[in-house]
Amino acid sequence: MTGASLTKPFGRPSADQWGLPALLAALSLLLWCLPQWHDALVWSREGLAQHQWWRLWSGHLLHTNGHHLLMNLGGLAVIFALHQPHYRFLPMLLLCLLMMPLISLGIELWVPAINRYVGLSALLHGLFTWGALQDIRQGWRSGYLLLLGVVLKVGYENTQGGTETIAALIDARVAVESHLMGVLSALLLFVGARLLRRVTGD
């Protein structure tokens, strides 16, 4: 671990770094242009009950309307800007492929009120949390502030509820429980990765 610092080694992002955010954005935009696929891809309890497992991943890439899509793509850009030094395409792709079904299964098991779910926001909360944990691992004190911020945000919205303004903007209830699942999934994967490194000696 390096000495504690408030700064990170930012620079011009390489293709290996911006590849994953670009892929998520491209897939979200593509599916936005294909509304006829929405029902076949949306996260839904009924679909999962019929063993349509692709919905564990695909639902995260769909959005209720243009405002919802733009808000999430903006959030993706901000998160990448905050955590660019940690991004590498293949590790980040694997992280997303693991985090998406964990979030989906968390909703399935612990949020019975949600029957259908779409949006990147839960994954974004997971990526934000993962980035903050990586900051802490590198000895960058900014990670503690970011982790505290996301914990307070998720704690507040899960006790007080989502804002009506955003709900009206995206034409749907804000699934604040999914944000919690994103944070918990990131914590679980981070701890799991650390334990795996200890076992393998990496």
CATH of residue 58 = 1.20.1540.10
**What pLDDT is stored for residue 12 in this prediction?**
87
> In this predicted model, what pLDDT tens digit does every residue of 112-158 receive, in sequence order?
999 999 999 999 999 999 999 999 999 999 999 999 999 999 999 99
Instruction: Give the mean model confidence (pLDDT) for residues 1-5.
Output: 46
Instruction: Give the mean model confidence (pLDDT) for residues 32-60.
Output: 98
In a domain, 7, yes or no: no
- Whether residue 7 contacts residue 140, with contact meaning beta carbons closer than 8 Å, is answered with yes
The residue segments making up the domain with residue 99 are 15-200
In a domain, 3, yes or no: no
In this prediction, what percent of the chain has a pLDDT beyond 90? 90
In a domain, 4, yes or no: no
In a domain, 2, yes or no: no
The total of structural domains in the chain comes to 1
pTM to 2 decimals?
0.94
Q: Assess whether pLDDT exceeds 80 at residue 1.
A: no
In a domain, 10, yes or no: no
CB atoms inside a 10 Å sphere around CB 22: 14
Helix 176-200 to helix 121-138 angle, to the nearest 10 degrees?
A: 40
> In this predicted model, what pLDDT tens digit does every residue of 162-173 receive, in sequence order?
889 999 999 999
In a domain, 114, yes or no: yes
Q: Assess whether pLDDT exceeds 60 at residue 2.
A: no
In a domain, 76, yes or no: yes
In a domain, 62, yes or no: yes
Nearest to 102 by CA among 50, 49, 48, 56: 56
Confidence of residue 11 (pLDDT cuts 50, 70, 90): confident
